Amino acid sequence: MVPWLLTHHARRRIDEMGLELVEVMQALDDPAVTYPCRPCYERGRIVAVRDRLAVVHNPDARTVITVLWNGGDRRSGVPAIARAA
């Protein structure tokens, strides 16, 4: 299988979020949920969600575009559920 390519932006987000690459790969290899990105973004982009992460990627190009917190503030890392409580 062809390995995943991480964009510069995706690598920066992984570093900013203090993540291990294995967490991102787990989200891609065994997501709990996947759904297409909104139509305003480039066609073919998919969001893979697993645990605390949402990974935006292009599966055809095997490229990770960015990494976000699942359902939370994308910079703080506080899940939406925790913020609502």
Cα separation, 55 vs 37, in Å, equals 11
What confidence tens digit (pLDDT) does each residue in 15-31 have? 999 999 999 999 999 99
pLDDT at 79 over 80: no
Residue 83: per-residue pLDDT: 39
Q: What is the pTM assigned to this prediction?
A: 0.80
Q: Which domains does the chain have, with CATH numbers?
A: 5-84 (3.30.2310)
CA 84 – CA 20 distance, rounded (Å)? 27
pLDDT of residue 82: 38
List, for residues 29-64, the tens digit of each pLDDT value. Answer: 999 999 998 777 778 899 999 999 999 999 999 999
Burial state string for 10-46 with b = 16 or more CB within 10 A and e = fewer than 16: beebbeebeeeeebbebbbeebeeeeebeeeeeeebb
